[in-house]
Amino acid sequence: MNITIKKIAEDLQLAVSTVSKALRDSHEISAATKARVFAYAAEIDYMPNPYASSLKRGRSGNIAVVLPEVADSFFSAAINGIEEVAQAQGYHVMVYLTHENVKTEQAIVRDFWNGRVDGVLISITSDAKDYNHLSELATRNVPLVFFDRICEDLNTTSVVTNDQECGYNAARHLIHRGCKKIAFLALFDDLSIVRKRLNGFQQALREYNFDLQQNPILYLTNDERFNKEQIRNILESKDRPDGIVGSVEKVVMQTYDVCREIRLSIPNDIRIIGFSHLQIAHLLNPSLTTITQPAFEMGKMAASILIKSLTKKSSMIRKEQIMIPSVLIERDSTK
Amino acid sequence: MNITIKKIAEDLQLAVSTVSKALRDSHEISAATKARVFAYAAEIDYMPNPYASSLKRGRSGNIAVVLPEVADSFFSAAINGIEEVAQAQGYHVMVYLTHENVKTEQAIVRDFWNGRVDGVLISITSDAKDYNHLSELATRNVPLVFFDRICEDLNTTSVVTNDQECGYNAARHLIHRGCKKIAFLALFDDLSIVRKRLNGFQQALREYNFDLQQNPILYLTNDERFNKEQIRNILESKDRPDGIVGSVEKVVMQTYDVCREIRLSIPNDIRIIGFSHLQIAHLLNPSLTTITQPAFEMGKMAASILIKSLTKKSSMIRKEQIMIPSVLIERDSTK
DNA sequence: CTTATTTACGAAACCGTTTTCGTGTGATGT
DNA sequence: ACATCACACGAAAACGGTTTCGTAAATAAG
């Protein structure tokens, strides 16, 4: 016979309800009985069945983290932060990767509709056109918190960094360094973070009287070969840019690769600044000027907000954006 | 009323057992009835309650991945591989971080004893002295597969790379490049992977008639400050080594840092080779010669083996080591 | 035409907890 | 002495599926 509450009840000549209450430290059980139950439970190494408990209580103690990928150092750090607060609060973290595919994202999120997880943290895929699978979560009372790649249409909390401001700062930094023509390397064309970074970027250009038409925007993808071809094209054109803002880590690394291939010197021929969370940016050749995102803190913050809403009675999450600032670190790639 | 099997049964004037069987495509239900049930279930958007199902069937469809950390690029890639096969097979991935703390590892693993997950993938912490929390898993019929950081005492499958051979190759590579005194940077002192890499390393030294006493081993930790101090000490000693083998990515990066601080030139003053999974090793300054581990494939393999054992009737996992070879990639740090 | 067998479904037990609702006992108040 | 009430516990009904077993009707076998 398995070690269940029932067994404890029989062995101790108690009712299962009594044992259950004792284990949950209910006030209607005497101290003496509680002590007996706890002692015996410890002795026979009783562990509650999480599924029975989840079934009855309607809560699982699991939270889902849905990410486009995990290769990027940003998401690794974010998972770290999320897991840390989850573990501290007794929650379990389920990780799902969408590989930048909406269909996959939908299938994954639909699976949460029925309470498989108590709450969801998500950084959305780039090509999502509608968000029914996400808004339906709210309908079904499973709270949702966005982080980094957010969707502004939904009524929930988002944790972001100061993307627009950083896009602005990146461009201004290059301009101050003397750049006359700056390319912006976008990732996809409809990601909130990329749009904001681009907005800030263009705002700076306007302020400094740059002609927006002359400062190209490259819309890159997850296809490395394609990206490098695009980057190479622009860097080999006769009036190539002398500055580059990379909107995500990956495209910056690809730019480094291309510069090597076609023997462009950074920062002499071209200056590069990138959004990144790379810990070893200073070890690159040349060291990379970054806008370093607080990935770990963003993960922690997002998880904290989600879990707080789970433990409160009123699980309503306010529609708001929590902003944790990034910091621009100057290194040799823009010297 | 919630959308349950019971509701479908009532609305369709069937017994709940009939509906359940129909949904599971049981042979004892007629095609006509199945069709009715499926159609209606789809219409009202029925989704089975995973906890009820798990409770009754004794299986959850979840697998646990227990890691020391996720900052390292190796484990990021491993998660990627694991998640990919899990998702394909309809399993859910729960991620737990031990932060190199046995107590934490024990607490996490104990939580699996009662069937919270169907199987466990683990890369163990360094300072584990006993493995009761792990061996108990077998007793309780939850299969376990090690990957990378394994424990050879337990009767289960491990997925590793050819650590010994690579340690050997790393040393030989440096010797061929002319190194006369080579330091080995270990991580902790009792990690299977580190021991094997060290063994191979020393085997090469012996073969080339190096005096083992003259080629130091540094036992490093997770404390970056401490590590750098150790590395700095040895690199500033009057007969410093002219070659370094880093047993894990982290200590190699720390060595790079120290070399910068004390202005040692790589590879002129000192050559460096490191075990790593870093995708951008070629972009470092100087580009880093690596023994590149097949992290993604190891994750996939480990997950495949685990899940296969879950779907088979006899869930016995053989005691064996699956070895996926790493590849030595020469770059400028050992030129 | 009777008997054996398949087919298609229903009733009910069960998985292990939680929770509601009693109920008997002793203490308290008047 | 009698009503009142807190206290400590038990019985039983959930939670939402799965599974075993039983059985009526339909079909096949003899």
User: DSSP code of B284?
Assistant: B
**Residues near B3 by Cβ (< 8 Å), separated by ≥ 6?**
B44, B45, B46, B47
Residue A75 · residue A69 · CB < 8 Å: yes
Chain B hits for A48, CB-CB cut-off 8 Å, are 114
In CATH, what is the architecture of A59-160+295-325? 3-Layer(aba) Sandwich (3.40)
Residues 48-67 in A having a C-beta less than 7 A from any atom of strand C are 48-49, 52-53, 55-57
pLDDT in tens, B228-237: 999 999 999 9
The yes-or-no verdict on residue A57 having pLDDT over 70 is yes
pLDDT of residue A126: 87
Q: Facing residues of A246 across strands? A: A185, A274
Of all nucleotides in the shown strands, which has a C1' nearest the CA of A21? Answer: C18
The yes-or-no verdict on residue A240 having pLDDT over 90 is yes
Question: In chain B, which segments carry CATH 3.40.50.2300?
Answer: 60-160+295-324, 163-292
Q: Is A318 on the interface with B (CB under 8 A)?
A: no
Question: In chain A, which segments carry CATH 3.40.50.2300?
Answer: 59-160+295-325, 163-292
Smallest Cα–C1' distance to nucleotide C15: which residue has it?
B56
Continuous H helices in chain A: 5-12, 16-23, 31-43, 50-57, 73-88, 102-110, 132-139, 163-176, 192-207, 224-236, 249-261, 295-311
Closest partner CB to B47 (pick from A54, A84, A113) = A113
Give the distance from CA A247 to its chain's centroid: 16
Give the distance from CA A229 to its chain's centroid: 29
The arithmetic mean of pLDDT across residues A137-166, rounded, is 95
Smallest CA–CA separation between B164 and chain A, in Å? Answer: 27
Largest CA distance in chain A: 89
pLDDT in tens, B179-204: 999 999 999 988 999 999 999 999 99
Residue A72's pLDDT band (boundaries 50, 70, 90)?
Answer: confident
Instruction: Tell me phi and psi for residue B216, to 5 degrees.
Output: -70, 155
Structure tokens at B26: 């049981």
**Angle, nearest 10°, between helix axes B5-12 and B16-23?**
110
pLDDT in tens, A78-107: 999 999 999 999 999 999 999 999 999 999
Closest partner CB to A286 (pick from B55, B115, B285) = B285
The yes-or-no verdict on residue B1 having pLDDT over 90 is no
pLDDT of residue A38: 96
Task: Tell me if residue B220 falls in helix, strand or coil.
Answer: strand
Nearest chain B alpha carbon to A285: B285
pLDDT of residue B316: 74
Of all nucleotides in the shown strands, which has a C1' nearest the CA of A115? Answer: D16
pLDDT of residue B318: 86
The arithmetic mean of pLDDT across residues A113-142, rounded, is 92
pLDDT of residue B313: 64
Residue B314's pLDDT band (boundaries 50, 70, 90)?
Answer: low
The arithmetic mean of pLDDT across residues B126-153, rounded, is 92
The yes-or-no verdict on residue B71 having pLDDT over 90 is no
Q: Is B256 on the interface with A (CB under 8 A)?
A: yes
Query: Which of strand D's nucleotides are less than 7 A from any protein C-beta?
Result: 7-20
Nearest chain B alpha carbon to A60: B51
Record: fold of B60-160+295-324:
Rossmann fold (3.40.50)
In CATH, what is the architecture of B163-292? 3-Layer(aba) Sandwich (3.40)
Q: Is A284 on the interface with B (CB under 8 A)?
A: yes
Task: Tell me if residue B291 falls in helix, strand or coil.
Answer: strand
The arithmetic mean of pLDDT across residues A184-207, rounded, is 95
Chain A hits for B111, CB-CB cut-off 8 Å, are 47
**Residues near B142 by Cβ (< 8 Å), separated by ≥ 6?**
B112, B113, B115, B117, B118, B119, B120
Q: Is the peptide bond before A286 cis (omega within 30 degrees of 0)?
A: yes
Residue B135's pLDDT band (boundaries 50, 70, 90)?
Answer: very high
Q: Which of A53, A67, A69, A70 to mutate to test the interface with B (most CBs of B within 10 A)?
A: A70
pLDDT in tens, A10-46: 999 999 999 999 999 999 999 999 999 999 999 999 9
Residues 70-129 in A having a C-beta less than 7 A from any atom of strand C are none
Q: Is A115 on the interface with B (CB under 8 A)?
A: yes
